[in-house]
């Protein structure tokens, strides 16, 4: 792709992905989208230069991101895994002594579990949250009696009752337990058998 700069003709070759951006048109009254391949001079030892901006070509809609993981941050890995095993989650052997682990969830999702130590290893500004929860994991318990059983079992194994089982106005038996780190775990089942 030849183009000129400083009166000299340059022959460039694409060496990477297309670069997209926005720039203000002189006068600053509107923005123009641009797109160009990342190019470098053909001559060896030359300084990489980009070609002048060209009008953007619409690449079409961007692919939507896909939810694949949910993450929990815990103070004590062994304590947290013991709690979540009561809900049927399976973690790899030896995970209790690790700073990061994961469990497969139905539908192809994964639950990632990291310790405070692991979080600080890549984010020095990490501070454990306090106050109300920001994320709740919700587990279907099959029927209203299942909600009662699971709620009692979790309280006996490190959970703290937040909202004891009740008949919710939306047609479910519902309860909320906090895990050992204070994250909310919702338990639910339909009040009536689904047709």
Residues 35 and 11 sit within 8 Å (Cβ to Cβ): no
Q: How distant, in Å, are the alpha carbons of 61, 135, 149 from that of 54?
A: 20, 45, 65
In three-state secondary structure terms, 50 is coil
Q: What percentage of the chain exceeds 70 in pLDDT? A: 67
Top-ranked range on mean pLDDT: pick from 50-54, 132-136, 167-171: 167-171
- The pLDDT, as a whole number, for residue 51 is 52
Q: Any residues with CB less than 8 A from the CB of 160 and at least 6 apart, and which?
A: 177, 178, 182
Sort residue 60 into left (φ over 0), alpha (ψ -120 to 50) or beta.
left
Question: Is 43's pLDDT higher than 50?
Answer: no
Query: What's the mean pLDDT when you consider all of the chain?
Result: 77
Q: How distant, in Å, are the alpha carbons of 2, 36, 130 from that of 72?
A: 53, 41, 14
Q: What percentage of the chain exceeds 90 in pLDDT? A: 52
Mean pLDDT within 139-148: 94
- The pLDDT, as a whole number, for residue 165 is 96
- Give the single-character DSSP code of 64: P
| pLDDT tens, residue by residue, 80-97 | 999 999 999 999 999 999
Q: What is the pTM of this model?
A: 0.60
- The pLDDT, as a whole number, for residue 9 is 42
Map out the domains of the chain with their CATH numbers.
Answer: 11-43 (no CATH), 67-128 (3.10.180.10), 130-195 (3.10.180.10)
Question: Is 31's pLDDT higher than 90?
Answer: no
């Amino acid at each position: 792709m030849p183009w000129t700069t400083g009166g000299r003709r340059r022959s460039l070759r694409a060496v990477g992905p297309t670069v997209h951006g926005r720039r203000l048109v002189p006068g600053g009254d509107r923005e123009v989208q641009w797109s160009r391949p990342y190019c470098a001079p053909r001559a060896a030892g030359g300084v990489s230069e980009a070609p002048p901006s060209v009008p953007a070509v619409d690449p079409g809609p961007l692919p939507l991101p896909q939810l694949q993981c949910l993450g929990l941050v815990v103070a004590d890995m062994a304590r947290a895994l013991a709690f979540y095993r009561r809900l049927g989650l399976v973690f790899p052997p030896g995970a209790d002594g690790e700073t990061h682990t994961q469990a497969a969830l139905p539908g192809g999702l994964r639950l990632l579990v990291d310790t405070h130590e692991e979080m600080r290893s890549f984010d020095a500004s990490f501070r454990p949250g306090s106050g109300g929860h920001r994320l709740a994991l919700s587990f279907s318990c099959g029927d209203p009696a299942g909600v009662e059983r699971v709620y009692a079992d979790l309280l006996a194994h490190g959970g703290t009752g937040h909202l004891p089982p009740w008949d919710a106005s939306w047609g479910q038996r519902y309860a909320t337990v906090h895990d050992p780190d204070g994250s909310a775990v919702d338990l639910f089942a339909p009040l009536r058998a689904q047709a």
